[in-house]
Structure 1
C-alpha cells in the first residue's frame, strides 16, 4: 500500500497507465515513453545556481556507501559496483544522521534505458547524462534533487563536456518540473517498445 501511495504522489492520475504497463509487462511486452531534455552548459549560470544551496551534506560516493545500505538489494549493489569500477560514472549522495538518504548519478559514456531495455546507446563525446536518482521515502520533499542537479552540471562542465542530457519518464511531473527549473529544454520523445528480446526505439522531435 505504501508503495502505491508513493507512485500516486509521483504520477498522480498517471498511475493508471503505470499499472496497465505493469500488467502487460508480465506478458513480455514493454512500452515506455521517455522525454529527452538537453541543457547547454556555461559556468556563469551554474555558479549562480550553486550559490543558492549548502552542500555540506553532499559527497561523492564510493561503493562502500552502497554496500552498507540496507534498502538496496544485491542486484542494485552489483550494478552500482560495476558502474564505479568502469570509471564512466560519478555518483553524489546526501547524508542525514550518517544515513545515505539520496543519491544521483552521472554517466559520461552510456545513455541508459530503463525497465529492461538493454540496448546499448553511446553518448556523444560532448554530452553527459543525468540519471538514476533515488530519495528515501522518509526524506522526500526536501529539495535534494534540485540541489544535487546543479552540482552534477558543474561536474559535467569540469570534465570538459558542453551539454547535459536527461531522460524523464512521461508522466513523472515532479521530475519534469525539476529539470525545467534547472534550465533543461525538452527536445524529443523516445518511444521504447520491447517484445521478447527485440527492442525498438522511435524518436519524435519536439518543437521548442
Structure 2
C-alpha cells in the first residue's frame, strides 16, 4: 500500500477521485430527478382529490420506504435488479419520494383560498391558475423538499458501492480495506463538499425562480 499524504492524495489519486465523484453525481441526479418527476405531480394531485383513501395510502406507502434501512432495501433489490447503478438509483429514488411529496402537498395546501378565488374572478383557467399562481406560491416548499432530499441522497449514495454502483463510497470502502486514511478522508471530504455545493446551487436557483415569479403573484394578490 502506498502511503499518501492527506493533501497529496488529491493529486496522486485525482483520476480515481474524479471518476468516483462523477458516478456519485450521476446517481444522485437521476434519483432526485425521478423523485421529482413522480412526487411533484402526485403531491399536486393529492391536494385536489376528494378520495381520502388515495391520500392515506399514498403517504403510507412512501413512508414505508423511509422506514426500511438503506442496506436492507439494497439487499431486497439485488435479486430483482442485480448489481450496479440501477438498483442503487431505484433505492435512492424510493427514499426521495416522501420528503418531496410531503413538501409539495404542504406547499399547495398553504395557498390562501382567497388568492385562488381572485384568480378565478380574473378569468384564469385551471391550468393558468396552476402554473401561474399556485405552483409559484408552493415553489418554496417544493424546493425545500428537493434541497433536503438531494443532501440526503448524496449521503446515502455512499452505500451504493456495496452493490457495485461506484461513487465516492467505493473509495471509502477501498480505503477502509487497506486502512488508507488519506483516501478515506479525501472521499469523505468530497462527499461533504458535494452536498454543500448542491444545497448552495439549489438555493440560488430557488431565489432566482421566486424573484422571477414574484411580480406575477403581486398582480393577483
Shorter-chain TM-score: which interval? under 0.3
The structure with the greater share of residues assigned to strand is 1
TM-score, structure 2 as length reference: 0.21
Relative to its length, the structure with more helix (as a share) is 2
Question: Normalising by the residue count of structure 1, what TM-score does the alignment of the two structures yield?
Answer: 0.22
